[in-house]
Amino acid sequence: MSILVIVIFAAVMSRYVFFTPLNFANMLSKYLVMWLTFLGASIAIREGEHIAVNFFVNFLSNKKKKLILIVSNLIVSLFCITIIYYGILFSINGITSTDPLLFGMRMIYPYLSVPVGFSFILIQYNLFTIIQLFSNEIKSNEKKHMQEVV
């Protein structure tokens, strides 16, 4: 992940230091940010960091929390699978189109960030749920967030 961030630096910096606009750098860094976002989102799940509202669920008993966890896991999985399926179709469409500013790169490479990213999200979400189910205490996002930051 950090490699991606560094590459973006390099791209934008080169544009800045040499004062010659590298038009391809704009495009490249944009596509890298897409990859960073969709892959990073799966790491965020592992860390329990997504913006979520736990206020109501926190009132429930541990047993009910686990039930809700299973239900929401199914819903999110369904969402991810839909995105992955149509995301693959979308990416295939990028085989024939090209980006003239990035040396004619096939658009499938940036497009693939969506299905690949959501595949990782699907995996991480399910792992997260399983780990939670087997642990005694269901962590809420706020608590987790504080542990991270403080």
Q: Identify the H or E element spanning 122.
A: helix 113-134
* Contact status: 61 vs other proteins (CB under 8 A): no
CA-closest candidate to residue 101, choices 7, 15, 19, 27: 27
Find tokens 């967030």 and name the residue. 145
The smaller minimum CB distance to other proteins, of residues 5 and 131, is found at 5
Question: Residue from 26, 126, 132, 144 that binds other proteins (CB under 8 A)?
Answer: 26
| Residue 135 binds other proteins (CB under 8 A) | no
Q: Is 72 in the site for other proteins (CB under 8 A)?
A: yes
3-class DSSP string for 36-93: HHHHHHHHHHHCCCCCCCCCCHHHCCHHHHHHHHHHHHHHHHHHHHHHHHHHHHHHHH
Helix (H), strand (E) at residue 98: strand 98-99
Contact with other proteins (CB under 8 A) among 75, 95, 127, 131: 75
Q: Is 109 in the site for other proteins (CB under 8 A)?
A: no
**Residue 55 interacts with other proteins (CB under 8 A)?**
yes
62 interacts with other proteins by CB under 8 A? no
Length of the chain: 150
Half-sphere exposure at residue 27, Cβ-oriented, CA atoms within 13 angstroms: 15
- Tell me which residues touch other proteins (CB under 8 A): 1-2, 4-5, 8-9, 12-13, 16, 20-21, 23, 26-27, 29-30, 33-34, 36-41, 43-45, 47, 49-57, 68, 71-72, 75-76, 78-79, 82-83, 86-87, 89-90, 93, 96-101, 107, 110-111, 113-115, 141-142, 145-146, 148-150
